[in-house]
Every structure is written in structure tokens, then in C-alpha cells.
Amino acid sequence: MRKLILVLTAVFVLVLNAAAQNRTVSGKVTDDKGAPLEGVSVTSPNGKQGTQTDKDGTYSISLPTAVRSLNFTYVNFVSQSKSIGNNTVINISLRSSDSYLEEVVVVGYGTQSVKKLQAALLL
């Protein structure tokens, strides 16, 4: 009876250990010209695991085996999701986003658009 309990305990520990395994995924994030991007957010789809790229654009993240993809987001770049599969190295190139800001002039008490300021100066 004592051996049976010992064997069942060992099997239980092994099953829990196998279910809780993590894997490490690493890679490099670059822009569309090949330059490394620093500060890119690399997250799992559920948002529980995440990291950022370093100055060389490289990252390393520990993920449960159930996670199947990674999300890459960065300011002024199009966010992308990449499937992991069985790979441990995921390199990705982010495409810049073409968005433009309206011209604004800062005045002492607020902000005004350039067109409104020019119209006021012509009067």
C-alpha cells in the first residue's frame, strides 16, 4: 500500500510538471528598412506574458506551451501578430504607419490651428 501511494504521488508530480512547462521564444524586431527597433512591445494574445525589445531590437520571452502566437506593437508602426508553431526564434519586420498630424501652434493660453492663426494675423 505504501509503494502504491509513493508511485501515485510520483506520477502526479510528473504530470503536473509536464503540464506547466514553459518555452523560451526569442528573436529580433526591425523596421521595413532593416534597422532594429528598441522598445517594441512583445506580448501573448491574453496579455499575461510580455516583454520589450532592447536597443538591438532583440527580445526573449518565456511562454506556456499553450500560447500559439505573439503580438508586436510599436508607436507609428502597424501592429502584427505572428504564429509561433514549434519555432523558438521569431524574427519580424514591422511596417511604418502613415498617419499625419494637423499643424498646431501653441499660444500662451491654449492651442490654435495654423490656418486660424494666419487668418487672425491677416485681419
Taking only the tens place, the pLDDT of each residue in 5-27 is 766 676 666 665 555 578 899 99
Q: Give the pTM.
A: 0.66
What is the rounded average pLDDT for all residues in the chain?
A: 83
Q: For the structural domain made of 21-122, what CATH number should be given?
A: 2.60.40.1120
Beta strands in the chain (DSSP E): 22-31, 41-43, 50-52, 58-64, 69-73, 80-83, 92-94, 104-107, 110-113
Task: Please name which of 111, 72, 65 lies closest in space to residue 91, comparing C-alpha atoms.
Answer: 72
